[in-house]
Structure 1
Amino acid sequence: MGDNADNTMSDATEDSSAVVIVDEFQSLQQKSEELFEELKHLPQFGQRIWQPYFGKAFSTFTKLWKSQQEHRPILEESGVLQKWDIGNIASRIGQLYYHFYLKTSKVNYLDEAFQFYSVIKSRGYYKDADSKELAVKKMRYYTRFIVVCLLLDKKAKLQELIQDLSVLVNNYHETYEIEDKKEWNAVTTELKAFSSSNCIVRIIGDDGKPVNPTYRCTQILDAERTVMSSNLQLKEAVVIGNCTGQVKFSDLTVDTFRFLQLLEYDPSLCKRSKQDLTNPHKYILYKPTFNQICTYLSAGIQELPIDGVMLCYVSSIGYMPTYKPSQIEEFGLHFSGGVRTGPAERTKAMPDPQCLYPLDLLPFTRRPLMVIIDSDNSVVFKNMYNVFGQPLLVLMSPSSYPQPFQGLSKEGNLLTLFLYSPLEALCVICSVSVVSHQNWVKCEQILDRTLEKILQLCGNCHSLDMRVCQLMGDSLLAPLIAKFLFCSSTLYLHQVFKEPAHLPTSFPEFPSKEIIHHPSILASILSISSLLEVRSLFYELNDL
């Protein structure tokens, strides 16, 4: 009798304990979903607003994940936890890490997102997705995983995921009567095009396998060697993409995808550096309205510390209205054209209110500002004013290209490619598609010395605006400026880029003789072209 009573009491205790565990799990599950939904309604600008909400959501999801790990047999037996539920939790945590990356620009959060997404796939949490709702969740998970792989440059994994997603989409179409067939077909098409657009040059190692270069910042600027000294640091950036017809995936165009990586230190550098390397906060906008641009720029300026620099990057098609003579007198040069940043609207208003004009940026020049315009009408931004005396630099792409290169913008604009990977851009304008890794390393060594020399020339140039030199004291801005000047020198030396409109410009202008046309810079470009066996495409120094 006593033993039976003890067993009964023990069973009752276990049942009671199981009920508590199930109740706590369900409570955490409900709370976590509520918090996740709240995050969707937060303002997208202002760093201080999101932090407490994200912290609370992350803490709750962490407890939920730990609960299912510790009590999985009980939760599964009670029927409140299915395999795909675990996938949903892991997917949510992966999304949180990805959004932490977007909010903070810390690349290690992408690694964390990758780990959680990898667990979902390796353990088959969505393997038995047997309903339309679960099939859609699985495909959405794959698209998020793919974005993370793109940003981490995991090419092999990326190709595997794209193939898997294509199979899932086909199965989805065959299994369910659906209305979103075109949308999912468009997703897979975009992904394949986006992936192929990033295979610009094949670098082949000694073993015959492809080698992937690194695009994020891998070096800290040595101020003494480059004669740059400044306390200014890049802290905020607004990255805008709106190139009609350019390859894109989700809200990332090829140009914005490439450029955002240039604003990040490589994680390997962060680990070995004794300095506290902090990536600037970024807003990534796709076809924003003018009001949105003003809002995000204002938010960035408001968050800017006393030693901070704001950067605005725009990749867009140009807006070039045809005015009557009376309108030219009325509007003047300042509204003679701009760049189209948002969706095209049918309007008879001139100037078009949804375009970005040089004067639109004037209020933001109250703080140190660097602007990069990659557009076929970039040249209008030469009409900028520096009325507040703060460091200001505007880098502008060529406004036109020679006939052989006029279709490049679909797979990324040329100036942005030079900023992203100068050697790959040089290969593109020389029709080089394959390079041995041995030669690539030699070219990289020459390039690194050349970029350093460019910065030294800028620091020693007495005719260069010293406020521009202040911007070049930052370890992220300096390489951008040096690569811009390398682009200018390369196109100047290339025999096909003959017209002034084929060359980049800037405000204020960089002295050509002392920097862009300096013999040592041009000689380095010729050395690289010799290694690539395309020297005949460039002018010799004696021919200039």
Structure 2
Amino acid sequence: MADGEAGAYREFKALAEAADRKFARARDLPLYGGGDHHSRKAFKAYTRLWRLQQERRRELVAGGLRRWEIGEVASRIGQLYYARYLRTAEPRSLVGAYVFYEAIYSRGYFGATAGAEGGGGGRHQALLIRYKELRFIARFLVVAMLMRRAEAVDHLAGRLRALVEESKAAYPKTNFKEWKQVLQELGRFLKADGAYKGSRSLRYDNLFDSYPSNLASIARFHSKRVLKLKEAVLTSYRRNEVKFTELTLDTFRMLQCLEWEPTGSYQIAAKELTENGTVSDQSGPSGLIDIHLSTEISDGSLPSNPQKAIIYHPTVSHLLAVLATICEELSQDSILLIYISASGCTEQNMASQKYASSSSSHATTASAFPIDKPNSHMSSDNHLWLGPRGSGGPNNLYPEDLIPFTRYPLFLVIDSENSHAFKAIHNAEKGEPAALLLSPRISSAMPGVESTGHGSQFTYFLTAPMQAFCQLAGVTSDIDTDTYANAENILFSAFEEYEEILCTSVGLSNVWGQILPDPFLRRLILRFIFCRAVLFYFHPEEHEQHLPTCLPNLPESVSPAAEAIKTPILQLAENLVVSNRFHFRDSRHNKK
């Protein structure tokens, strides 16, 4: 080995160690409330490292550079891009992560090296590389799911399963129980997320979610105070919830629901980058990956996505600290969306407070599920439970905990059987009246059908209403393509009409009026109206435990009893041949 080659490799190792330290500092910072400085320093360090291995590849390889070391650098760059996406909600950063991960995978940076075991220390080194490969594929899967690359997701899921089996056979003395659990979680997640493969994206698409005929009606609100959604806090904490790694199905759906669907030109540019960045130089350690590629594409036709803090299984104190940090940075024309999907009972009470079957009678429901009895569980139905096991004050989130944050405009979405407790926030605000969407206390389902495997039902309706309707009505995933497309058209027309009615209603609270111009919040409100009406007609008798609630109240013109709200739901049920599973009774005398 020549001195120049050895010197190049020593330089690479020194730069790698420095970059790793910067990466560790950036990784340990929360993905909200600043931290860009450390992220930029880490990017700069890896840019220098990446260029070194591109420019002096032959010397480095001759000096001892191994393929997995290049894979590790590329993986770190992908992680930085993904972290930037979570911090800024920039789609191009998500594309950047995908490009690097796809390049690592297609060139087998980890896989090719893991096969060269040798003995003793070499075998131990190969095991460490195998763990790197497993973690890498798990990260790649998350990015591919967010990119909605269905074929890539299916392929990666199969590869992860095969790799776990290979690892168990190659290292029989090593316990891969954790990875078997990861595979189980992945299977549940993909089954729930891919239940209706013909469904369109959850992101806001101007072609499907914007109604030009209503622009004039929406514009009238601009003469008054208008609030824009620029920040959101999303968290989910449930026992045995559907999740993969640290991304729960509920937050996964809500995350996408609060983003713009990229336009056609952006999608073409992103596709070209993902292809051109990985097709060449398969044998070389670096190839044609450009570290600046994600800055080459942008979608100038769309506004910026709201920034989102996604918190996985937080403690109450952690959640409140995040809210305090974000509220401090909230601009005057902004509103903060707080989404919490959590259980309302501890592990000990879980069995006695299960969700009820939708088609049971009111008497049966009330007797079988003690949570519905007046004044029952008075000590446990006034909070959400954020904790892994046991019970106690530190794990309980009370409505009073959120009231201090009502000094700022809030849009609060609570998905829990104890959501009703958060009505206490209404009229108790400290400065700004809050808008509240509260889930039903009891989830609905066809008799004998388990609905928890699809994620929280209220969240499902808010993020994917067509799929949620099908799941509720028992429509199977093998539905005819034309029938499903026709149902989508019916729903499109329904939301267009709902929007017109809502925006022209007399007596609409200013709390709603000041946020209706925001497309994301307006879409959530329209879907709430749809969800409430669907559940109203799903049950033979009206029972408020089955219905979601909003505060302040929306006008009577968009209540389930309104004919204009009911008619599209009837059409949808008839199109899907499930009208016999609903109860389209004369609702003129029923309250909303």
Shorter-chain TM-score tier: 0.7 to 0.9
Q: Given the alignment of the two structures, is residue 379 of structure 1 paired with residue 420 of structure 2, yes or no?
A: yes
8 Å contact from structure 1 (residues 362, 385) kept in 2: no
Q: Secondary structure at the match of 1:265?
A: coil
The aligned runs of 1:113-152 (5 Å cut-off) are 113-126=97-110, 127-129=112-114, 130=117, 131-152=126-147
Partners of 2:557 and 2:227 lie apart in 1 by: 28
Find the counterpart in structure 2 of residue 438 from structure 1.
Answer: 482
Partners of 1:238 and 1:535 lie apart in 2 by: 38
CA deviation after TM superposition for structure 1 residue 106, in Å: 1.5
Find the counterpart in structure 2 of residue 487 from structure 1.
Answer: 531
- Once the two structures are superposed, residues 35-84 of structure 1 have per-residue CA deviations (whole angstroms, 9 ceiling, x without a partner) of 112223334541x2x111111111221221222122211110111x1111
8 Å contact from structure 1 (residues 365, 388) kept in 2: yes
- Once the two structures are superposed, residues 127-147 of structure 1 have per-residue CA deviations (whole angstroms, 9 ceiling, x without a partner) of 221311111111111111111
Find the counterpart in structure 1 of residue 202 from structure 2.
Answer: 215
Match of 2:549 among 495, 501, 505: 505
Partners of 2:452 and 2:553 lie apart in 1 by: 25
- Once the two structures are superposed, residues 442-486 of structure 1 have per-residue CA deviations (whole angstroms, 9 ceiling, x without a partner) of 222222232232222222222221122212221111111111111
8 Å contact from structure 1 (residues 454, 515) kept in 2: no
Question: Which segment is superposed worse, 488-497 or 242-251?
Answer: 488-497
One-letter amino acid matched to 1:358: P
Q: Secondary structure at the match of 2:13?
A: helix
Find the counterpart in structure 2 of residue 73 from structure 1.
Answer: 58
One-letter amino acid matched to 2:262: P
CA deviation after TM superposition for structure 1 residue 186, in Å: 0.7
- Once the two structures are superposed, residues 487-518 of structure 1 have per-residue CA deviations (whole angstroms, 9 ceiling, x without a partner) of 01111122457422111111212234444432
8 Å contact from structure 2 (residues 188, 453) kept in 1: no
8 Å contact from structure 2 (residues 498, 558) kept in 1: no
Match of 1:412 among 455, 467, 487: 455
CA spacing shift, 1:497–1:269, aligned 2, 3 Å: farther
Q: Given the alignment of the two structures, is residue 425 of structure 1 paired with residue 468 of structure 2, yes or no?
A: yes
TM-score (norm 1): 0.86
The aligned runs of 1:198-209 (5 Å cut-off) are 198-203=193-198
Partners of 2:56 and 2:554 lie apart in 1 by: 65
Partners of 2:264 and 2:217 lie apart in 1 by: 19
Partners of 1:479 and 1:267 lie apart in 2 by: 17
Partners of 1:202 and 1:30 lie apart in 2 by: 44
Find the counterpart in structure 2 of residue 258 from structure 1.
Answer: 253
Q: Secondary structure at the match of 1:284?
A: strand
Question: Which segment is superposed worse, 138-147 or 123-132?
Answer: 123-132
Match of 1:339 among 378, 384, 400: 384
Q: Given the alignment of the two structures, is residue 94 of structure 1 paired with residue 96 of structure 2, yes or no?
A: no
CA spacing shift, 1:183–1:233, aligned 2, 3 Å: same
Q: Secondary structure at the match of 2:406?
A: helix
8 Å contact from structure 2 (residues 457, 468) kept in 1: yes
8 Å contact from structure 1 (residues 108, 267) kept in 2: no
CA spacing shift, 1:316–1:133, aligned 2, 3 Å: same
- Once the two structures are superposed, residues 347-397 of structure 1 have per-residue CA deviations (whole angstroms, 9 ceiling, x without a partner) of 4xxxx3321111111111111101111111111112223434524111111
- Once the two structures are superposed, residues 106-155 of structure 1 have per-residue CA deviations (whole angstroms, 9 ceiling, x without a partner) of 22211111111111111121122131111111111111111111211222
Find the counterpart in structure 1 of residue 276 from structure 2.
Answer: none
8 Å contact from structure 1 (residues 376, 399) kept in 2: yes
Match of 2:327 among 292, 301, 320: 301
Q: Secondary structure at the match of 1:128?
A: helix
Partners of 2:452 and 2:508 lie apart in 1 by: 31
Match of 2:336 among 310, 317, 332: 310
Any stretches of 5+ residues in structure 2 without a counterpart? 118-125, 268-298, 353-377
8 Å contact from structure 1 (residues 150, 158) kept in 2: yes
One-letter amino acid matched to 1:94: G
Question: Which segment is superposed worse, 24-33 or 65-74?
Answer: 24-33
- Once the two structures are superposed, residues 386-434 of structure 1 have per-residue CA deviations (whole angstroms, 9 ceiling, x without a partner) of 4345241111111013563673223311111111111111111111113
Find the counterpart in structure 2 of residue 35 from structure 1.
Answer: 22
Match of 2:516 among 463, 466, 472: 472
Question: Which segment is superposed worse, 380-389 or 64-73?
Answer: 380-389
Question: Which segment is superposed worse, 237-246 or 33-42?
Answer: 33-42
CA-atom RMSD in angstroms: 2.7
- Once the two structures are superposed, residues 306-349 of structure 1 have per-residue CA deviations (whole angstroms, 9 ceiling, x without a partner) of 11110111111113999xxxxxxxxxx998611112333444xx
One-letter amino acid matched to 1:355: N
Partners of 2:390 and 2:539 lie apart in 1 by: 40
Partners of 1:283 and 1:474 lie apart in 2 by: 19
Question: Which segment is superposed worse, 58-67 or 432-441?
Answer: 432-441
Match of 1:401 among 439, 443, 449: 443
8 Å contact from structure 2 (residues 32, 87) kept in 1: no
CA spacing shift, 1:366–1:335, aligned 2, 3 Å: farther
Residue correspondences, number: 507
The aligned runs of 1:361-376 (5 Å cut-off) are 361-376=402-417
- Once the two structures are superposed, residues 88-111 of structure 1 have per-residue CA deviations (whole angstroms, 9 ceiling, x without a partner) of 111111111111111111222111
Q: Given the alignment of the two structures, is residue 520 of structure 1 paired with residue 564 of structure 2, yes or no?
A: yes
Match of 1:390 among 428, 432, 442: 432
Any stretches of 5+ residues in structure 1 without a counterpart? 1-13, 204-211, 323-332
Share of identical aligned residues, percent?
32
8 Å contact from structure 1 (residues 379, 396) kept in 2: yes
8 Å contact from structure 2 (residues 4, 59) kept in 1: no
Q: Secondary structure at the match of 1:476?
A: helix
8 Å contact from structure 1 (residues 334, 357) kept in 2: no
CA deviation after TM superposition for structure 1 residue 170, in Å: 1.5
One-letter amino acid matched to 2:254: F
Q: Given the alignment of the two structures, is residue 533 of structure 1 paired with residue 577 of structure 2, yes or no?
A: yes
CA spacing shift, 1:38–1:389, aligned 2, 3 Å: closer
CA deviation after TM superposition for structure 1 residue 241, in Å: 0.7
8 Å contact from structure 2 (residues 239, 388) kept in 1: no
Q: Secondary structure at the match of 1:319?
A: coil
8 Å contact from structure 1 (residues 450, 524) kept in 2: yes
CA spacing shift, 1:298–1:178, aligned 2, 3 Å: farther
Partners of 1:18 and 1:403 lie apart in 2 by: 67
Question: Which segment is superposed worse, 131-140 or 108-117?
Answer: 108-117
Partners of 2:20 and 2:67 lie apart in 1 by: 18
One-letter amino acid matched to 1:392: A
Question: Which segment is superposed worse, 169-178 or 127-136?
Answer: 169-178
One-letter amino acid matched to 2:435: L
8 Å contact from structure 1 (residues 319, 337) kept in 2: no
Q: Secondary structure at the match of 1:267?
A: coil
Q: Secondary structure at the match of 1:462?
A: coil
Partners of 2:189 and 2:233 lie apart in 1 by: 22
Q: Secondary structure at the match of 1:318?
A: coil
